[in-house]
Structure 1
Amino acid sequence: MNSLHDIENIYFLGIGGIGMSALARYFKNQGKTVAGYDRTETNLTMQLISEGIDVHFEDAKERIPATFNIENTLVVYTPALPAGHAEYNWLKNSGFAILKRAKVLGMLCNEGKCLAVAGTHGKTTVSTLLAVILKESALGCGAFLGGISKNYGTNLLLPASEGQWLVAEADEYDRSFLNLTPDVALVTALDSDHLDIYGEFENIKKSFIKFISQIKDGGSLVLKKGVLEEIQGEEGLDIYRYSLNEEADFYAFDIQLHENSYLFSLATPWGMIPEIKYNYPGLINIENAVGAAAMALIAGVSPEEVKKGLSEYKGVKRRFDIRYKSGGKIFIDDYAHHPEELKAVVSSVRKMYPGKKITGIFQPHLYTRTRDFADGFAKSLSLLDVAVLLPVYPARELPIEGVSAEMIVEKMAGVETILLEKNDVLQWVENNEIEVLMTIGAGDIDKIADAIAEYYNGL
């Protein structure tokens, strides 16, 4: 398929996914007829329905709109779709044009100027920060985001005019980001993950290096300091490095905390940007702000506009998301689902609330990830005072014998551990005095977080 513009109908398999829903919204805005399947009804699928998109939750070909035929329909699917999916197999065997989500995103982004944010963690926050900075600047932008921006209440930003930058979250899962050929790319982190796809860390690293090789000639690469240090100057590619507060091309200094907001100055290759006000908590998020600012400056945003954009950033849902703060109680919800992400978010909360007892409710995501990183999860969760673990969220996977939340608990030390079923969490929260509570994970723990927030806000 050479063009997406001539297609009348787009059918999504897994439409409730964060990346899939952004594409669905985009095509709906382009005047296409959009419909799709997802296995679970969520707030996001309900929003899609309210926007005029036909969504159903039964894997049955009879639910596919009758007007969607081989001549006028493109099928877009997520790689997280389970094997043996009835609708997918019927559509494929019937001869429908079928593309992976990442291929479609690449076709859209590669038509114009693309800013791509990659990394095994932190990419959603950095890409959303970057989008806010650009959107609030004279340059403007469009964006396909991996989370719901609190500034705009959506994961899709439409460009106001042709020729504006497109911000894309470049996902390494299933090597999806290899469909992108960006003008500027940033890599936030490089850790072992998705070993069900890659097998070993060396293969992940090779995939990131291949992604970097696809940056357009004359483009720029921004790397977090310490990531892929072996990549030095290359012909046709400008390379920059950023850090929280260690000397690099871009870094923060004079970091101060004032009434729940940070003030810091930013060192850049082109001079200093003083006294940036940043309202998002956690030192890890200052590091994310430095990376986003670096990309924005390279893209042509002025220092004053960078300063303005960072001061107006409100965050991303489920990324260090403070859901309740009153009467000595604090409740934070976060999407962390990798040991390094867990370590970063718990450490940030510990620094923000020294001396407070921190309780974390963690839902492991995927049996393979739980098996591969049980030691790392145990170590990171041991930074809590109380660790509550829920059963593994399987997503696309079948159970693996011997793999469970218990295998993490068995490896933990120096922390109170509790195993709970999902349905018992709210009652447990109501029955316990908790100072700082965190819900953590990438499964359906967001529903539990909503219930806890509703309970706390009703006190």
Structure 2
Amino acid sequence: MKWGEKTVDRLYFVGIGGIGMSGLARYARQLGLEVAGYDKTQTALTRALEREGISIGFEENLDHFNHWFDPIESERTGIVRTPAVPRNHPLFDRIAELALPVIKRSKMLGAVAQNFETFAVAGTHGKTTTTAMLTHLLADTPGGCNAFLGGILASTGSNVLLNPESKRLVVEADEFDRSFLQLNPTHAVITSMDPDHLDIYGDADGFRAGFAAFGEQVTGHVVRESALTSAEADLTYGCATNRQTANHLDYAASNPRIESGWMVADIKMRDEWFESVKFPMPGMHNLSNALAALSLADLAGANRGACMKSMGMFGGIHRRFAYHIRESHGTYIDDYAHHPKEISAVLEAVRLHHPEKSITAIFQPHLYSRTRDHMMEFAEILSEFDRILLLPIYPAREEPINGIDSQSLFENILNPSKHLTSIERIFDNLKEHPPEVLLTIGAGDIDRLVQPLSDWLREDSQRFKPFE
């Protein structure tokens, strides 16, 4: 693999357990490179990488790296890093001492993407679901695709799709750390532009400027959600209540409805309509994500009729409106939502598919900076649940911010049925107030609750509140 002026065949990933890093590690290994890495915590994803033959160290000491590093091969060794691992980590001192070349994950992805016809999905919300849907649509078409996903596809159990015969690549264009500016996509879609990562962009204007810069780097078409009037694009998509409104859009869903538990809509693809197309993922936000995926599949030249049929067979993605229990006596859904707009979309979808049911949400805020920047928006949407169980903030890469914690968020939530709790106390909370519909929401380590909660709820149907 070319690494600037060098060619490397040994890569060490610092933060290999991240969803983006692990995908690139898998790609490098398929190319025949020797791959290893470090991560702070062992997870299901790191265990999967180890089963695939990738050696991973989990201790902060340098033993694993020093054992892997071969001085004879230093000229052919490179380091890939993620901003999630701070630069004061001891590994970076050792790497600097050895004068090994280091690049960010985003730069490596950009270098890989240069070899393909690249279809990029950008936006504050919906990137992972849209990317997964697009991958599903293109995988079985002539020409296939490769893909780097920000989540785990339910159908494959992986966050990558590697097809050596394909010249197409599907990627998430992540706005964090301005990573998407390393890409020069052939075509792109922008799903949303709600300000986020203001620790990086400064303010909403800076955030929008970042997306404008991304759009300028797209060599072909840019498709935008119709409400994003500030986004530079030559094509639009969106949901419409009737065909008259839909005819003003290039890609549209008209007459959305629920039939036998399915989202169903009539779909416009430029100059052609398709009647009563079925979509397996609940919610208007996921119908919008599906339209975004269909628009890029269309630009890739995929057969439109085949795409309509294929969309109905999409198996979903890990932690995106994932049903873990869907029984007559109770429902449990897990979702990655970590921004107020995402939580609002999830709540809307739950109420649409489970009307008149009481909804209990367990929410783990993600990042001190995001909690600070959207404090009142979080409080407003969390107040709309029937019961809210609030966990401590998951800091990820951040240091604490004075005055910003779950207690301050809790005090702003107007819902009288609110509880400030901990992961260890959750089961006691649910015993005291059994749920009808239960949600776990957040982008931190709340996912470690999912399997224990599912098992516990299945042990006894009385752990759900009987539907009235």
- TM-score class normalised by the smaller sequence: over 0.9
Distance in 2 of aligned mates of 1:92 and 1:207: 31
Give the CA deviation at 1:162. 4.1
Task: Write the mapping of 1:193-232 to structure 2, written as runs, cut at 5 A.
Answer: 193-216=196-219, 219-229=220-230, 231=232
Residue 244 of structure 1 aligns with which residue? 239
Task: Write the mapping of 1:295-314 to structure 2, written as runs, cut at 5 A.
Answer: 295-314=296-315
Contact (CA 8 Å) 1:75, 1:97: kept in 2 or not? yes
Residue 177 of structure 2 aligns with which residue? 174
Residue 194 of structure 2 aligns with which residue? 191
The letter for the 1-side match of 2:189 is: L
Distance in 2 of aligned mates of 1:431 and 1:161: 56
Residue 135 of structure 1 aligns with which residue? 139
Residue 452 of structure 1 aligns with which residue? 453
The letter for the 1-side match of 2:236 is: R
Residue 463 of structure 2 aligns with which residue? none
Distance in 2 of aligned mates of 1:230 and 1:99: 30
Give the stretch that moved more between structures: 307-316 or 168-177. Answer: 307-316
Contact (CA 8 Å) 2:224, 2:236: kept in 1 or not? yes
TM-score normalized with structure 2 length: 0.93
Residue 235 of structure 1 aligns with which residue? none
Cα separation, partners in 2 of 1:427 and 1:29, compared to 1, 3 Å: farther
Residue 236 of structure 1 aligns with which residue? none
Residue 70 of structure 1 aligns with which residue? 74
Residue 386 of structure 2 aligns with which residue? 385
Task: Write the mapping of 1:83-94 to structure 2, written as runs, cut at 5 A.
Answer: 83-94=87-98
Task: Write the mapping of 1:11-410 to structure 2, written as runs, cut at 5 A.
Answer: 11-64=12-65, 65-67=68-70, 69-163=73-167, 165-216=168-219, 219-229=220-230, 231=232, 239-245=234-240, 247=246, 248-410=249-411
Distance in 1 of aligned mates of 2:103 and 2:367: 25
The letter for the 2-side match of 1:70 is: S
Contact (CA 8 Å) 1:323, 1:332: kept in 2 or not? yes
- After superposition, give the CA deviation of every residue in 1:262-315 in whole Å (9 maximum; x if it has no partner): 222211212112221221111211111111101101110011221122011011
The letter for the 1-side match of 2:224 is: L
- After superposition, give the CA deviation of every residue in 1:439-458 in whole Å (9 maximum; x if it has no partner): 00010000012211122233
Contact (CA 8 Å) 2:212, 2:231: kept in 1 or not? no
Contact (CA 8 Å) 1:140, 1:160: kept in 2 or not? no
Contact (CA 8 Å) 2:325, 2:454: kept in 1 or not? yes
Distance in 2 of aligned mates of 1:426 and 1:160: 47
Give the CA deviation at 1:230. 6.0
Cα separation, partners in 2 of 1:228 and 1:111, compared to 1, 3 Å: farther
Cα separation, partners in 2 of 1:228 and 1:79, compared to 1, 3 Å: farther
Contact (CA 8 Å) 2:143, 2:166: kept in 1 or not? no
Residue 465 of structure 2 aligns with which residue? none
Contact (CA 8 Å) 1:136, 1:305: kept in 2 or not? no
Residue 423 of structure 2 aligns with which residue? 422
The letter for the 2-side match of 1:359 is: T
Contact (CA 8 Å) 1:137, 1:309: kept in 2 or not? no
Contact (CA 8 Å) 1:425, 1:448: kept in 2 or not? no
Cα separation, partners in 2 of 1:150 and 1:105, compared to 1, 3 Å: same
Distance in 2 of aligned mates of 1:343 and 1:279: 20
Distance in 1 of aligned mates of 2:139 and 2:278: 18
Contact (CA 8 Å) 1:257, 1:263: kept in 2 or not? yes
Q: CA RMSD in A?
A: 1.6
Give the stretch that moved more between structures: 433-442 or 67-76. Answer: 67-76
Counting aligned pairs with the same residue, the percent is 38
Residue 436 of structure 2 aligns with which residue? 435
Distance in 1 of aligned mates of 2:142 and 2:382: 43
SS of 1:312 mapped into structure 2: coil
Give the stretch that moved more between structures: 240-249 or 196-205. Answer: 240-249
The letter for the 1-side match of 2:237 is: Y
Distance in 1 of aligned mates of 2:227 and 2:316: 26
Give the CA deviation at 1:415. 4.2
Contact (CA 8 Å) 1:334, 1:438: kept in 2 or not? yes
Give the stretch that moved more between structures: 371-380 or 4-13. Answer: 4-13
Give the stretch that moved more between structures: 120-129 or 249-258. Answer: 249-258
SS of 1:143 mapped into structure 2: strand
Give the stretch that moved more between structures: 239-248 or 41-50. Answer: 239-248
Give the CA deviation at 1:104. 0.3
Query: Which structure 1 segments of 5+ residues have no match?
Result: 233-238
SS of 2:75 mapped into structure 1: coil
Equivalenced residue count is 450
Contact (CA 8 Å) 1:134, 1:309: kept in 2 or not? no
SS of 2:102 mapped into structure 1: strand
Residue 464 of structure 2 aligns with which residue? none
Distance in 2 of aligned mates of 1:324 and 1:260: 15
Distance in 2 of aligned mates of 1:391 and 1:414: 18
Give the stretch that moved more between structures: 434-443 or 221-230. Answer: 221-230
Distance in 1 of aligned mates of 2:16 and 2:33: 15
Distance in 1 of aligned mates of 2:390 and 2:207: 29
Cα separation, partners in 2 of 1:290 and 1:162, compared to 1, 3 Å: closer
Contact (CA 8 Å) 1:70, 1:97: kept in 2 or not? no
Cα separation, partners in 2 of 1:273 and 1:3, compared to 1, 3 Å: farther
The letter for the 1-side match of 2:202 is: G
- After superposition, give the CA deviation of every residue in 1:162-214 in whole Å (9 maximum; x if it has no partner): 42x10000000000000000000110000111011111111111111011100
